[in-house]
Amino acid sequence: MDRRELLSGAAVLAAALGVPRLASAQATELRIGAPLPLTGPLAPEGAKQKRGYDLWAKEVEKAGGLEVGGRRIPVRIIYSDYQSATPKGVQATELLITQEKAQAVFSPFGSGAAKAGSTVAERHKIPMIAPTASSVEVYDQGYKYLFGTFTPNATLTEPLATLVAAKNPSVKKVAILSRNDLLPLSLAAEMRKSAASRGMSVVFDEKFAIGALDFGSALTQMQAAAPDWVFVGGYINDLIQVRSQMRDLGLKAPVVTMIAGPAYDEFTQALKGGAENISSAAWWHPAARYEGEDLFGSTQKFVETFKAAYGAVPDYAEASAAAAGCILQIAIKKAGTLEGPAIRDALASLNIKTFWGPVHFGPTGQIDSLTPPVFQIQDGKTVVLLPGEIAQGEIRFGV
């Protein structure tokens, strides 16, 4: 039996006709809704999340199912492609809950779509785990059913700024370029604060439209400002284009930071030497060495399992998706039922160790127990700079 199925938005509705809703006590499987951008500009990110979810579901299957109330049941992840359009993501979330009878939901990708989709889950009292939403604006709505695996964006900009200021005090002028989307704009706001608190001035600060391909005008203006630090927020396709056009214009700086594309191998592969010395930060790195009570048991075991399944080293987006499954699994075991309010209470009370790191959710539902790694691409590979216990090298200047 295939426990993973891919449905378009229309197919979700069609497939749901005639599917009766079972009471949790009678449920023969855990149905998880997963709206993802499997086509459109965010398709690379959607594919990463799907790999993480699928790996977790496969391991649950190998273990004989998910434990709930003293019995084991299979997991079915029901995917819906919302084509990288947030309004369709909200619609997909609604259909997955009302038509496909999902007992839990993994949020749409990114902060903006997760925030929009969380309204639906809250209304239906269905637990939603957001594996790719870091902006505090997602969690300040007073919702009780939303839980996120990413720490706030300041936990990325603050260690970066501390490191740069300590290692190169001559860095004084910062240029910021951001995709006009919730996560990149939130990152930009935090970067302004981090820079100002260290006596740095922002000499350029602009945003670009979602789907933009030509950054020449903005980069030319940025170049005229002669920044010491270029900070760009966006998704992988945006950042590859920005970096390529920076090279074409000859725009250089002692520090170039991009979030979050450099965490992906695809970024380095697409840019080849152009990715060298690009710094970044993310919420997890395969260099971490956590022991956990989750299905995988440790960071090392998760990385090995992922490599065996996909022939590649996992990045933070893939790991976070798998972690979302593990966290939900532990909460359901603790709750002993598939009833939404009980799972919600179990999630809120978690204080556990996992391959992803320690997991505890703060009062808003956002994780407050992680220290995100800072890293830089050096010699074609990501090298962890912080935190010190997993550091692999020192920061290099000049891009």
Q: Is the pLDDT of residue 317 over 90?
A: yes
Report yes or no on 367 lying in a domain.
Answer: no
Report yes or no on 47 lying in a domain.
Answer: yes
What the block records as the tokens of 109 is 């990708």
Domain interval for residue 184 = 154-282+373-390
Tell me the pLDDT tens digit for each residue of 194-205. 999 999 999 999
Quote the strand ranges of 273-334, DSSP E. Answer: 278-281
Same domain, 277 and 299: no
Same domain, 266 and 296: no
Q: How many domains does the chain have?
A: 2
Same domain, 133 and 164: no
Q: Is the pLDDT of residue 314 over 70?
A: yes
Tell me the pLDDT tens digit for each residue of 235-273. 999 999 999 999 999 999 999 999 988 988 899 999 989
Burial class (CB in 10 A: 0-12, 13-18, 19+), 15: middle
Same domain, 296 and 221: no
Give 115-119's long-range contacts (Cβ < 8 A, gap of 24+).
115/141, 115/182, 116/86, 116/87, 116/89, 116/90, 117/35, 117/89, 117/90, 117/93, 118/143, 118/145, 118/146, 119/90, 119/143
Query: By the 8 A CB rule, do 352 and 361 touch?
Result: no
Same domain, 125 and 84: yes
> What region, left, alpha or beta, does residue 110 occupy, with left being phi > 0 and alpha being psi -120 to 50 degrees?
left
Same domain, 22 and 93: yes
Same domain, 58 and 113: yes
- Quickly state the pLDDT bin for 27 (edges 50, 70, 90): confident
Same domain, 327 and 257: no
Nearest to 58 by CA among 295, 286, 354, 333: 295
Same domain, 131 and 246: no
